[in-house]
Amino acid sequence: MENLENRLNEHLGEVFSEQMLFAQDAYTRGIAAVAGPTGEKRRALAQKNARQHRWMSETGRQHREIARWGYRRIADLRVSTTDSDASPMQHKNKSTSRLGYQTHYVVDGGKARVILDVLVTPAEVTENLPMLDLLFRSCFRWHLHPRSVTADAAYGTTENIAAIEKASIRAYTALVDQEKRTSLFGRDAFTYDAEKDLYTCPQGELLRRQGYDNRERSIRYAAKPSACKACALKARCTKSTKGRWIRHSFEEEYLERARAYRDTEPYRKAMRKRAVWVEPLFGEAKDWHGLRRFRLRRLEKVNAEALLKAAWQNIKRLLAFGTRGPKGSAQVVALRQPAPNPYGFRGVRRHRNRHSRRPGRVFQHPEPFLSAG
């Protein structure tokens, strides 16, 4: 055995002798390789990364050191005596509020509805803020290259849409319809001319560039106050004595691209998929797994509890489907393009009366009785 070990050591020494010598020379000479930008670009990138808030690494904790434009949070005034991480949450149909959390799911677009990531944040954290961290972490963790991302209007902010589109991913997010919020003319009533860099109102008056707003990351276009005062449609356009003005975002190119998706069938199909495949996961977790009320307290423990419940939901689908995919008829119908049904609810009755083609399971098979002679 000793001879064999000596021969093996000699063989390894001959094979790796050149590499060991190169490594020793590099170590003695102090060779150092710097990857990425250097100099001023490296310092600027370090400052930019220091200003960002990593929601995943902070476990969804609010960055209280930063307050936009002097805004004071309600959570700074009201603190729970039993769970200091919980913050006031407004009820949708009630005027009262209570302390609570918000749960975010990242769900795969396949039929199995696999939950890729979970994050619980205090109720004071706006829903749109952790979206990019959840998306890019899921892509990195599971080696995904998604073609599109679907979310509701709460996540459809300018920052999220621009970042998703810059990553070559289609942002299928429901944008807020400003036309329904007020009786005045919205932005869709104005025409933008990219060559002349101006807007045209419904009466033909021009809105020219007035300046930049770096805080809002937008460009301001305004009409002459004298022209607005003499306009017959002023009551339907603006109530300001200074005339009508419009904001043009720095990321307007990506916003227009997202608005154009709304008239396409892939966008409508993605929204139908989300309503059938994603929303029921929250109802399942609330009704069957106790997600309406956490058993634990503090943010780190609440995140651990939510991860366990999401893992159990994935395990149930793994046990239910195995190697085959789900065959829910309601899911399949929701993905098809809607068509008028002249027979009312006839399709529903046929679906209920349909019998499975699979034979029934036999729990006990009769066997011949053998008697010993």
Cβ atoms of 276 and 334 closer than 8 Å? yes
Rounded distance, CA 189 to CA 196, Å? 18
Is residue 3 in a domain? no
One domain for residues 155 and 188: no
186/202 same-domain check: yes
pLDDT digit string, tens, across residues 34-53: 566 777 888 888 887 777 77
pLDDT at 131: 92
* pLDDT for position 327: 54
* Average pLDDT rounded to a whole number, residues 223-246: 87
pLDDT of residue 355: 46
Q: What is the pLDDT of residues 146-198, one digit of tens each?
A: 999 999 888 988 899 999 999 999 999 877 766 667 778 888 888 888 888 88
Which of 249, 276, 294 is at the close of a domain?
A: 249
What is the domain range of residue 114? 57-175+262-313
Whether residue 199 sits in one domain with residue 269 = no
Query: Domain tally for the chain?
Result: 2
- Same domain for 293 and 204: no
Crossing angle for the helix pair 252-261 and 158-166, nearest 10 degrees?
90
**88 and 202 co-located in one domain:** no
Q: Is residue 146 part of a domain?
A: yes
Q: What value does the mean pLDDT take over residues 236-255?
A: 87
Q: 147 and 271: one domain? A: yes
Instruction: Output the six-digit token pair for 346.
Output: 């006839």
What pLDDT, in 10s, does the model give residues 207-232? 898 888 887 888 899 988 888 888 88
The distance of Cα 291 from the centroid of its chain, to the nearest Å, equals 20
- Residues 189 and 165 reside in one and the same domain: no
Separation of alpha carbons 134 and 129, rounded Å: 10
The amino acid occupying position 149 is V
Q: Which one is predicted more confidently, 58 or 162?
A: 162
Q: Is the per-residue pLDDT at 341 higher than 60?
A: no
Nearest-10 crossing angle of helices 131-142, 158-166: 20
Whether residue 61 lies inside any domain: the answer is yes
Residue 223 and residue 186 share a domain: yes
